[in-house]
């Protein structure tokens, strides 16, 4: 019996998914439990498994398109089975597009990006570009019309390589520029031509310096959409207040250096030391290791520390579970492994949801001090600035010490000012005297 494949809920915060890649094509046999497609959720790329046996009869959304939870995205049935009724139901269940929304093109990668060019840039190319009008009819228009169809990854590659879009001819559907077109342009044979095209545009670019800049629109990734939604529900509804302190990091730096000299493979970072110290301070101040619920405050027995990791799609916070019970070496190994998988979008939902407290470190970018936005329902987050040498007064003498500024963002519904200050006081005391960790 034919069945619909619907967009599954692959993470606790997922509201819709983007079809990253079909692992099967129409006409392929599929078995229950076999990977059917890769789905980009709000945090990771995950495999969707087939829930029935049969043949993949119909794919209902293309790679790169998004669908809300529960929307039919494919049909599995027997090879000779009539699926016309299921197709009608699937079409009826599909959300209607806005009349102003451009029609999507079939693709083997991602939705096309319209690149709008300035007047002088448009005049530099007259080659026809295939596109699709809003009523779905295929038309031909020249680059003078100001629209170029290009996939997001091809657009990024072209921008990074400094290749003018006018030097490219699309080989994708409807004349769309795809990844292989850019790869050919930056290859050994195409590179001289591409460079000549770039050079030829410099004079026109100088003349167009006062014209509106060219731009391109790229569809939001599921991660970026979720970040936008969560920020709206955090900074506004959550009553933030901020506490800042400066910490002498000389002894913490000495501890890290000594540990890495004993075991060079360990590669303990200052951030690993901070995570361990945060966990120890949270156990001493359970009022901070808490989250706000509608009618209750939830206090946690262990410190599950979310560690902010920047990826090309946005910020994600893999979690060091029970960091209060783990050694510095365990934390260093786990943090490094989680960060690697976070950047590869290979984290499982339970590895990035449910932290009790978060740490965001921008010190490696030379940022001295900043404030971080709380990730609800957590009660607080700690923003870590750069560790740098600074002249400070010690025993009535001016000396150079490694210092670091940290700012704690608190949810006032969970953490009072005095409680937050006491937590920071303990955090500072342990970090300035890290032997407390071993007592």
pLDDT tens digits along 366-398:
999 999 999 888 999 999 999 999 999 888 899
401, β-bridge pairs = 390
302 is catalytic: no
Sign of the alpha-carbon dihedral angle for 154, 157, 158, 163: negative
- Among residues of the chain, what percentage have pLDDT more than 70? 77
pLDDT band at residue 206 using 50, 70 and 90 as cut-offs: low
Q: Using CA atoms, how far apart are residues 426 and 237, in angstroms rounded to an integer? A: 29
For tokens 């360990």, name the residue: 266
Widest Cα–Cα separation across the chain: 90
Per-residue pLDDT tens over the stretch 181-198: 887 887 744 445 544 454
d(CA 219, CA 170): 20
Question: Taking residues 138-144, what's their average pLDDT?
Answer: 36
Residues of the chain with CATH 2.40.50.100: 3-93
DSSP state letter for 261: H
* CATH code, residues 3-93: 2.40.50.100
- Considering the entire predicted model, what is its pTM? 0.58
pLDDT greater at residue 278 or residue 87: 278
pLDDT tens per residue, range 20-32: 889 999 999 999 8
Catalytic residue among 116, 240, 302, 412: 412
Read off the pLDDT of residues 242-262 as tens digits, 9 standing for 90 and up. 999 999 999 999 999 999 999
Residues of the chain with CATH 3.30.559.10: 223-438
Q: Decide if 186 contacts 161 (C-beta within 8 A).
A: yes
Quick: pLDDT tens for 57-72: 999 999 888 889 889 9
Indicate the CATH number for domain 223-438. 3.30.559.10
């Amino acid at each position: 019996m034919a069945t619909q494949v619907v967009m599954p809920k692959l993470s606790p915060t997922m509201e819709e998914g983007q079809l990253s890649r079909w692992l099967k094509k129409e006409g392929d046999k599929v078995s229950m439990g076999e990977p059917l497609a890769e789905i980009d959720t709000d945090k990771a790329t995950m495999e969707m498994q087939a829930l029935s046996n049969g043949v993949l009869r119909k794919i209902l959304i293309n790679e790169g398109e998004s669908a809300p939870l529960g929307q039919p995205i494919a049909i599995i049935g027997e090879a000779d089975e009539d699926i016309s009724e299921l197709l009608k139901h699937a079409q009826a269940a599909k959300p209607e597009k806005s009349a102003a929304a451009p029609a999507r093109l079939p693709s083997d990668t991602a939705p096309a990006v319209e690149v709008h060019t300035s007047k002088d840039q448009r005049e530099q190319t007259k080659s026809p570009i295939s596109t699709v009008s809003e009523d779905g009819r295929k038309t031909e228009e020249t680059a003078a019309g100001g629209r170029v169809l290009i996939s997001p990854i091809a657009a990024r590659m072209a921008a990074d390589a400094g290749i003018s879009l006018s030097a490219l001819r699309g080989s994708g559907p409807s004349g769309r520029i795809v990844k292989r077109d850019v790869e050919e342009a930056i290859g050994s044979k195409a590179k001289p031509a591409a460079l000549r095209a770039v050079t030829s545009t410099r004079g026109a670019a100088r003349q167009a310096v006062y014209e509106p800049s060219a731009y391109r629109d790229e569809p939001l990734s599921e991660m970026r959409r979720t970040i936008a939604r969560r920020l709206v529900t955090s900074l506004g509804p959550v009553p933030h207040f901020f506490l800042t302190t400066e910490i002498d990091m000389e002894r913490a730096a000495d501890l890290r250096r000594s540990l890495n000299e004993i075991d060079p493979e360990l590669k303990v970072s200052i951030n690993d030391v901070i995570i361990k110290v945060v966990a120890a301070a949270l156990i001493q101040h359970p009022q901070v290791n808490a989250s706000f619920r509608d009618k209750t405050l939830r206090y946690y027995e262990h410190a599950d520390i979310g560690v902010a990791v920047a990826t090309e799609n946005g910020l994600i916070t893999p979690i060091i579970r029970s960091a209060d019970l783990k050694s510095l070496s365990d934390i260093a190994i786990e943090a490094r492994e989680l960060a690697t998988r976070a950047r590869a979008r290979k984290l499982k939902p339970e590895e990035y949801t449910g932290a009790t407290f978060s740490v965001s470190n921008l010190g490696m970018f030379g940022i001295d001090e900043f404030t971080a936005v709380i990730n609800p329902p957590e009660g607080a987050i700690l923003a870590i600035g750069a560790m740098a040498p600074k002249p400070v007064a010690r025993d009535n003498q001016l000396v150079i010490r490694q210092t670091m500024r940290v700012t704690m963002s608190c949810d006032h519904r969970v953490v009072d000012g005095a409680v937050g200050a006491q937590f920071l006081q303990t955090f500072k005391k342990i970090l300035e005297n890290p032997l407390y960790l071993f007592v």
